[in-house]
């Protein structure tokens, strides 16, 4: 559900940037682009309903409705793919889950912790203390 919702937001934002750029000019903020995208896609749905009501234009209304449905599915899918790709690269949800999950005895709490280091090798034996040091 999160991927589908986020896919809709990302898709509407992409469409909104294009529509806003053609009608208004400068690059909009993300919120404004998302609003313009929702309006553009919903205008397709409303146009389809209006054409469907008019006699002799029912086919055009049906065609526009099909375009609306296909565009919505493509936007949801591309946006969900963007979410999955972003999560794959950044692993934010995995890091969050590793921080909050309960730990059990004998289990490490974080996946990114380094494994314990092996013990240090023993020191070389010291020369006997009663013997004088060797001359060179």
Q: HEC profile for 67-102?
A: HHHHHHHHHHHHHHHHHHHHHHHHCHHHHHHHHHCC
Q: Report the mean per-residue pLDDT for the chain.
A: 78
Cβ neighbours of residue 57 closer than 8 Å, sequence gap 6 or more:
51
Give 107 or 67, the one with higher predicted confidence: 67
pLDDT confidence band for 108 (50 / 70 / 90) = low
pLDDT of residue 115: 60
**Mean pLDDT, residues 16-45:** 87
Statement: the pTM of the whole predicted model exceeds 0.75: no
Pairwise CA distance, residues 122 & 63, whole Å? 81
Convert the pLDDT of each residue in 112-126 to its tens digit. 555 667 777 777 776
């Amino acid at each position: 559900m999160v991927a589908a919702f986020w896919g809709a937001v990302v898709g509407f934002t992409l469409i909104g940037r294009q529509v806003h750029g053609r009608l208004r000019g400068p690059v909009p903020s993300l919120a404004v682009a998302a609003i313009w995208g929702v309006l553009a896609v919903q205008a397709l749905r409303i146009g389809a309903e209006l054409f469907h009501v008019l006699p002799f234009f029912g086919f055009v209304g049906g065609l526009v409705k099909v375009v609306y449905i296909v565009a919505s599915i493509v936007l949801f899918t591309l946006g969900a793919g963007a979410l999955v790709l972003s999560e794959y690269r950044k692993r934010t949800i995995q890091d969050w889950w590793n921080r909050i999950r309960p730990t059990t005895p004998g289990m490490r709490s974080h996946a990114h912790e380094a494994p314990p280091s092996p013990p240090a090798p023993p020191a070389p034996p010291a020369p006997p203390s009663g013997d004088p040091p060797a001359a060179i």
